[in-house]
Amino acid sequence: MRSTLCILPLVVALAACQTPAPPAPAFTPSDEAAVRKNLDDYTPLTMAKNWDGIVALYTSDAVRFPPNEPAIQHDAMKAWLEKYPSISAFEAPTDHLDGSGNLAVATGHYALTATVPGQTTSMGDKGKWFVILKKQADGSWKRTADGWNSDNPPPKS
């Protein structure tokens, strides 16, 4: 018991000397504006088939998670986009955005009309999406991961 009483003040003194972790950097209004710009740029780039512009929205180690397919690494994004069916209408508004420090998460929904090769009529799709963004050393915000899936039921076999 006596040895415990001698060690207790030492433990308390050591605990008091510990430096607290620095607070996370703030997610500022300018950070939110930069994230929203990244999110808002996606639709016009898609409609313009500006695949280089879309790929530039992502970090070099980013991953996309399309529905019913394997994940797509950054170096394969442009080739994947070039094979996407022709889109005649597309919207993807942001429903929710939250940021803390150097990370932000956004969710939303989409609606698109596309013509699948070999089909004579266009098809519509509606669904939801998520994007994770990371603040870069230069202060810009880029996508590090995103994914989406349809609200439509799977096609019948």
The predicted structure's pLDDT at residue 15: 58
The pLDDT confidence band at residue 155, using thresholds 50, 70 and 90, is confident
pLDDT at 116: 83
CB 65 within 8 A of CB 146: yes
The string of pLDDT tens digits covering residues 100-137 is 999 999 999 999 999 988 888 899 999 999 999 999 99
**How high is the pLDDT of residue 36?**
97
Which amino acid, one-letter code, is at 148? W
pLDDT digits (tens, 9 = 90+) for 92-104: 999 999 999 999 9
Answering whether pTM is above 0.85, one says no
User: In sequence order, what E strands does 40-140 have?
Assistant: 58-65, 72-73, 86-91, 94-100, 103-115, 123-135
Q: What is the mean pLDDT of residues 46-52?
A: 97
Strand bridging mode 58-65 / 72-73: antiparallel
Q: Which of 46, 27, 16 is nearest to 146 (CA)?
A: 46
Whole-angstrom distance, CA of residue 110 vs CA of residue 35: 18
**φ, ψ (nearest 5 deg) of residue 26:** -70, 150
Q: Is the pLDDT of residue 17 over 80?
A: no
